[in-house]
Structure 1
Amino acid sequence: MLRKKLYTLVFLFEENNVLLGLKKRGFGYNKWNGFGGKIEQNESIVEAAVRELKEECCVAVKHENLKNVGRLEFTFEGEPIVMDVRVFSAKVFQGTPRETEEMTPKWYKYDDIPFDNMWPDDKIWFPYMLSGNLFYGKFNYRGFDTIISYDIKKFDSVHELNKYNEDLNTN
């Protein structure tokens, strides 16, 4: 039986730039990614996203400025856990991104995103996010570098995405 663990992932945007962070330790070490992590006890998904962003790159975002743009589920062959990742974006935030013990932030133009130094699935779902589409993606990995299978769906409204999220949670 697979057990779900809930995570957040936040991307900041300015004009045609996206803020990524180079992971300096732990899961995803030496890969560029968004900012996020585990949800703590008695914390909502949005509260966790706000906290993780602040901890990992010293930028503050208000709850109302976070937009839920997607959901990603990851399984790793032989592992009993499903990583259930809620993806958020924000265009309004306070502060200048700064390096922390966890991440080194850097702005990238859309054409310069370092996909070769990111998770392999990013090449598949990032275009949905960058073009303003809402999405759900499910990825099954062998190890950390090989995608065995995946499925991705696009949604036209947050209502559809949330309904799909609710349906998934009741299964």
Structure 2
Amino acid sequence: MTERDATKNQHPRVVVVYLLRDGAEGPEVLLGEKRRGLGSGRVVGPGGKREGTETAVETAVREVAEEVGLRLDPADLEARGTLDYRFPFRPSWSQVSDVFVCRRWSGTPTASEELAPRWIPVADVPYDAMWDDARYWLPGVLAGGSVEARFTFADDDATVAGFTGSGVDAAAASSAD
């Protein structure tokens, strides 16, 4: 989806950033428990809503600084795709998210009012504690892939009812059962 196409979409634009590092036991990703707002209590990557005329990259840099106290160089952000989230039973939750991976930053992750971050081995990402869609696309993104997909949520506003696009693992649906 191009920037121009995204402006035609009436849903709010957001970003999410997955910070990756080499840990003692292998690759790790910085995730945290969301402390307030949409998704409160779920495990998520740092991110949030675009403000004003911000680009996705500008939002990513700002949100990571605000939520986990790390400074990013925009050149270090790797764009990995776009997710279009649809909540037919709660339309105000629908949004379009740009996905980034980042392997360089400065600072030490610190908790904020928004997020309590911690490093988690990529092999141990707690998908059951995340939004349901993450199990379908996040493993591929963390392994170096990308995603361009739309997820539609069921009437419980928590379970994926369907999806279209690329970079999505349909087999993840059976592992969710």
Normalized against structure 1, the TM-score is what? 0.85
What is the CA–CA distance in structure 2 between the aligned matches of 1:105 and 1:80, rounded to whole Å?
A: 29
Aligned residue number for residue 11 of structure 1: 18
Q: 1:135 aligns with which of 147, 160, 168?
A: 147
Note if 1:148 corresponds to 2:161.
Answer: yes
AA of the residue aligned to 1:72: L
Deviation at 1:36, TM superposition (A): 0.7
Note if 1:69 corresponds to 2:76.
Answer: no
What is the CA–CA distance in structure 2 between the aligned matches of 1:90 and 1:119, rounded to whole Å?
A: 21
Deviation at 1:138, TM superposition (A): 1.0
Structure 1: give runs of 5+ residues left out of the alignment: 155-171
What is the CA–CA distance in structure 2 between the aligned matches of 1:68 and 1:121, rounded to whole Å?
A: 19
Aligned residue number for residue 6 of structure 2: none
Aligned residue number for residue 168 of structure 1: none
Note if 1:114 corresponds to 2:126.
Answer: yes
Normalized against structure 2, the TM-score is what? 0.82
AA of the residue aligned to 1:98: T
Indicate the percent of aligned positions where both proteins have the same amino acid.
33
Question: Once the two structures are superposed, what CA deviation does each residue of 1:62-104 show, in whole Å capped at 9, x if it has no partner?
Answer: 1000010121110001344541100001000001100111100
| Matched-pair contact (CA < 8 Å) for 2:89–2:157 | no
Note if 1:33 corresponds to 2:44.
Answer: yes
What is the CA–CA distance in structure 2 between the aligned matches of 1:100 and 1:112, rounded to whole Å?
A: 23
Aligned residue number for residue 161 of structure 1: none
SS of the residue 1:69 aligns to: strand
AA of the residue aligned to 1:39: R
AA of the residue aligned to 1:31: R
What is the CA–CA distance in structure 1 between the aligned matches of 2:149 and 2:17, rounded to whole Å?
A: 16
What is the CA–CA distance in structure 2 between the aligned matches of 1:78 and 1:14, rounded to whole Å?
A: 38
Structure 2: give runs of 5+ residues left out of the alignment: 1-8, 168-177
| Matched-pair contact (CA < 8 Å) for 2:69–2:107 | yes
User: Which consecutive segments of 4 or more residues in structure 1 shift more than 3 A?
Assistant: 78-82
What is the CA–CA distance in structure 1 between the aligned matches of 2:118 and 2:91, rounded to whole Å?
A: 34
SS of the residue 1:3 aligns to: coil
AA of the residue aligned to 2:140: Y
Q: Comparing 80-89 with 133-142, which one deviates more in the overlay?
A: 80-89
What is the CA–CA distance in structure 2 between the aligned matches of 1:122 and 1:86, rounded to whole Å?
A: 14
User: Equivalent residues in 2 for 1:54-65 (5 A)?
Assistant: 54-65=65-76
What is the CA–CA distance in structure 1 between the aligned matches of 2:100 and 2:140, rounded to whole Å?
A: 13
